[in-house]
């Protein structure tokens, strides 16, 4: 299976931590040069330094993906330093959402759509011309267990991730004609900051509904990203690849967290 990414440049949003960081490292292990973006400059720089230790070129570029001007400046810097972007991973995300009946949905909807949907749109817009020019590109959007059947008590996050799935499906149809594959990776719950904060009761509730009985390691999600970034998956387009151990979505995980 050809997973060689030598001579490719990947930009991964929100890759200072968690699954984005693991993805940056995995793409680098397969030979890609990496642009490590994060809104948090310190973690972007730290991850980029660790990625360089894997033997590829990497730069940390802080930017808030929901801000179009910041994204444009980030991509300009990235292309100047590492060349055209061949692989874009739209991973930057926020976990902030809450029950509809709490009544704070205006703010949480705005935040979730800003980061997940508009963030992905901003990054895609800035890299797509270069991909069209070379008639090759890979765009990988991070959806979620939330696009399996919704996950209760978090409508803003559900809606934002479903909208990103819609963008994935739609752009796969349009951009496929330009040699650009657009796919999604849908992680379940993984060992990240989010799950570290769960109470024992919530953890138990989730794992009772997971056939494998454990959270994912970020590296297991990164393997799926690397596959979708690689030549080995060149005929896969418009697909959502679930990496959730067969997790059954649950509807009350926020109630007792
Ligand atoms: P996950 O569980 O999805 O891996 P993390 O919280 O560990 O989540 O990582 C998400 C990353 O996305 C964080 O490092 C965070 O700083 C980053 N991030 C969040 N919002 C933005 C944004 N607007 N622009 C760029 N990066 C962001």
pLDDT tens digits, 240-252: 999 999 999 987 7
DSSP notation for 140-174: EEE--THHHH--TT-HHHHHHHHHHHHHHHHHHHH
Distance 185 CA to ligand 1 centre (A): 16
Distance 186 CA to ligand 1 centre (A): 16
90 lines ligand 1 (CB under 6 A): no
Distance of CA 127 to the CA centre of its chain: 16
Q: What are phi and psi of 12, to 5 degrees?
A: -120, 115
pLDDT tens digits, 135-178: 999 999 999 999 999 998 899 999 999 999 999 999 999 999 99
Q: How many helices (H) and strands (E) does the chain have?
A: 10, 7
User: Which secondary-structure segment (H or E) carries 37?
Assistant: strand 33-38
Distance 177 CA to ligand 1 centre (A): 31
pLDDT at residue 217 is higher than 60: yes
Q: Which atom of ligand 1 is nearest to the CA of 64?
A: 24
Q: State pTM to two decimals.
A: 0.98
3 in helix, strand or coil?
A: coil
Q: How far is it, in rounded angstroms, from Cα 149 to Cα 251?
A: 10
The answer, yes or no, to whether ipTM is higher than 0.85 is yes
| Distant-in-sequence, close-in-space partners of 173: CB < 8 Å, separation ≥ 6 | 238
- List the structure tokens of 100: 């509809």
Catalytic residues: 157
């Amino acid at each position: 299976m050809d997973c060689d990414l030598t001579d490719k440049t990947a930009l991964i949003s929100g890759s200072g931590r968690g699954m984005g960081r693991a993805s940056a490292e995995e793409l680098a292990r397969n030979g890609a040069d990496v642009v490590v973006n994060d809104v948090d400059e310190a973690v972007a720089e730290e991850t980029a330094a660790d990625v360089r230790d894997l033997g590829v070129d990497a730069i940390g570029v802080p930017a808030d993906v929901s801000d179009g001007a910041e994204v444009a400046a980030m991509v300009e810097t990235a292309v100047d330093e590492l060349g055209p972007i061949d692989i874009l991973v739209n991973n930057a995300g926020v976990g902030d959402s809450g029950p509809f009946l709490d009544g704070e949905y205006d703010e949480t909807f705005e935040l979730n759509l800003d980061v997940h949907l508009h963030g992905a749109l901003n990054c895609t817009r800035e890299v797509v011309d270069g991909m069209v020019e070379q008639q090759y590109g890979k765009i990988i959007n991070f959806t979620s267990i939330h696009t399996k059947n919704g996950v209760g008590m978090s409508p803003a996050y559900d809606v934002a991730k479903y909208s990103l799935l819609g963008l994935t499906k739609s752009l796969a149809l349009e951009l496929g004609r330009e040699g650009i594959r657009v796919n999604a990776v849908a992680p379940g719950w993984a060992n990240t900051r989010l799950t570290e904060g769960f109470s024992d009761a919530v953890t138990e509730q989730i794992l009772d509904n997971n056939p494998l009985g454990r959270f994912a390691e970020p590296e297991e999600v990164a393997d799926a990203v690397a596959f979708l970034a690689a030549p080995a998956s060149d005929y896969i387009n418009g697909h959502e690849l679930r990496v959730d151990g067969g997790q059954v979505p649950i509807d009350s995980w926020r109630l007792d967290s």
